[in-house]
Amino acid sequence: MRQSASGSPELLRLSGVSFAYDRERPVLRGADFVLHAGERVAVTGPNGAGKTTLLHVMVGLVKPSAGTMEAFGKIRTSEGDFSEVRCRAGLLFQDADDQLFCPTVAEDVAFGPLNLGKSRAEAREITRRTLARIGLHGFEDRITYKLSGGQKRLVALAAVLAMEPEILLLDEPTAALDAETETRLVDILNSLPQAMVIVSHDRAFLAKVANRWVRLEGGTLFCPVTC
């Protein structure tokens, strides 16, 4: 696995990645991007620039028409390749309702660990510990669809964290959050060891959590420092 100049392992690399939903209107045009361990990269850009698509390319939800996607030292092309990536890179969707589908909070958070082969007892303990970490102790039996938007957002994050990923890919993580819950989210993210790619229009939030910024515009990623 390649390393940065400071010796941090390289986790993700996109090289010359292009993608279009409509052939006449490319979303990504030869995009290059690298994520190293310890980095928290803010991805900014106008609406419709392709920021969400960029995250989906990273976990294989969409397939580039050109270029390569490398994760954890291996070029990834097949669905089997990306099954492993999705266990190691957790994606927080822009809309929590797209991520939460079980009747109760505990079932939603335990779903990932159970699919990773954990026993029910292990999954229960992971769920309890993860919810406590993000300030939702005692929410295990709450009905998911009855939660507020901010609570759903935190439960969706808990479902991602329960899988203990090495990378967090966060798509507009402050959506539907009030000021108090956003402050809690900042504290949670700053306490975590994972590398992160954070898509957001909230520049004040990004300033509190990111240590590198890139901008996606016209299908190209612009980096203020070498990527």
**CATH code for the domain in which residue 52 is found:** 3.40.50.300
Dump pLDDT digits (tens) for 44-63.
999 888 999 999 999 999 99
- Which residue has tokens 């822009």? 94
Structure tokens at 126: 């992971």
Dump pLDDT digits (tens) for 100-126.
999 999 999 999 999 999 999 999 999
**Residue 109 is assigned to a structural domain of this protein:** no
Walk across the sheet containing 28-36 and list its strands: 28-36, 10-19, 66-71, 74-75
d(CA 52, CA 217): 13
Mean pLDDT by 10 residues, the chain (227 residues): 68 95 86 95 92 95 94 93 94 93 96 94 96 93 93 95 97 91 94 96 96 92 61
Q: What is the dihedral of CA 148, 153, 159, 163, to 10 degrees?
A: -160
Q: Which residues contact 157 (CB under 8 A, 6 or more apart)?
A: 92, 134, 173, 185, 188
Structure tokens at 16: 């010359």
d(CA 199, CA 138): 30
- Which residue has tokens 């909070």? 105
**Residue 111 is assigned to a structural domain of this protein:** no
Mode of pairing for the β-strands spanning 10-19 and 28-36: antiparallel
**Residue 131 is assigned to a structural domain of this protein:** no
Q: Which residues pair with 71 in a beta bridge?
A: 12, 74
Which domain covers residue 213, as residue numbers?
10-97+166-222
Q: How many domains does the chain have?
A: 1
pTM: 0.92
Q: Which residues contact 23 (CB under 8 A, 6 or more apart)?
A: none
